[in-house]
Structure 1
Amino acid sequence: MLVYLAASTLGHLLWEIAQLPFYTIWPDGGFGQIGFAVLHCTAGDVLIAATALVLAQWAFAPASRRVVGATLVIGAAYTAGSEYVHAVIRTDWAYSQLMPTLPILGIGVLPMAQWLVIPAIALHLAHRQIAAFSR
């Protein structure tokens, strides 16, 4: 779990920084506001990652492929709902013109991709670590 959380934290932090130009906060926000947003979003990402893994392990342990699949589905589902509420309904944040969006929902493609790529990499690294210790 520790390797997964460490990899998730680093991955989500880097992703949040890389996708800043796809949000209006990039040209409009100050350094402090942008820094707070990155840290706040990364902390939220790590909480989602931990919760998704714990729920998946509880439901499907020890079937590792099911745990991986459930972790990705739970994280992506939460992200889709959160993006829809915050970017579409409440407009707590806004996408720049650079952000590709999913038809019908109007949510960003990059946050959804983030929740498929980062957890998959983190789970792979954690699995490799477990396999190395069990040899």
Structure 2
Amino acid sequence: MLRPERVGTRLGRAVGALTDTPEFNVAAFALLLNFAWEILQAPLFVGMAEMPHAQVTKACLQATVGDAVIMLLAYGVVAVVVRSRSWILASKGWQLSLFVAMGVSITAGIEWLATRGYWMASWSYLPTMPLVPGTDIGLVPLLQWIVLPLLTVWFVRRQLPHRAQAATETETAS
């Protein structure tokens, strides 16, 4: 028979093992940072100011989940390229550039499709949304994928300092 204190210890270790992974931390910070960004940029989209609060929150939550998927996809692409899940803890400039470029590229594609009615959902910008010249794509959604991936890296490195130190030591030993 399992004793409760042993079950709690095993569960604690399992949760600790999960929360100690770079992927979990990327997802957690992606959700937190992107939700705030989505709420802040909502007034730049047609109809958001007139929607009930709950509807805006739901729309922003849906976008945030999509953002987290994009962030994990971009993280995964870099992990495959460098053959290391810990790349984020001691990344080189080109790795960060690839991470950011993946998010910007995916988002540019989604924004282009959505503003033309070819995406699962469609949306329009208000005149207050600055546009990337020649593309009619909103600048704010693209800036999201320059700023937030870098902030995510910064937070993950601080959340997992013992892993970051080990990754740095491995990099210098190679």
- For normalisation by structure 2, the TM-score amounts to 0.70
Deviations 1:55-104 (A, max 9, x none): 111012456223322111101100001101101x2171011121101111
The equivalent residue for 1:126 is 156
Structure 2 distance, partners of 1:123, 1:59, is 17
TM-score (norm 1): 0.89
Same amino acid, percent of matched pairs: 26
Consecutive unaligned residues of structure 2, counting only runs of 5 or more, are 1-21, 167-174
Residue 105 (1) aligns with residue 103 (2): no
- Paired with 1:59 and 1:83, the residues of 2 have a C-alpha distance of 26
Amino acid of the structure 1 residue aligned with 2:49 = P
Higher relative contact order (CA 8 A, sep 6+): 1
- What SS does structure 1 have at the residue aligned with 2:129? coil
- Residues 5 and 122 in structure 1, CA contact (< 8 A), matched pair in contact too: no
Higher-helix-fraction structure: 1
Instruction: Check conservation: 2:131, 2:138, Cα contact below 8 A.
Output: yes
Matches within 5 A, 1:28-43: 28-43=50-65
Instruction: Say how many residue pairs are matched.
Output: 134
What is the identity, as a one-letter code, of the residue corresponding to 2:33?
Answer: G
Alpha-carbon distance in structure 1 between the residues aligned to 2:147 and 2:158:
17
RMSD (Å), alpha carbons: 1.8
Structure exhibiting the larger radius of gyration computed from Cα positions: 2
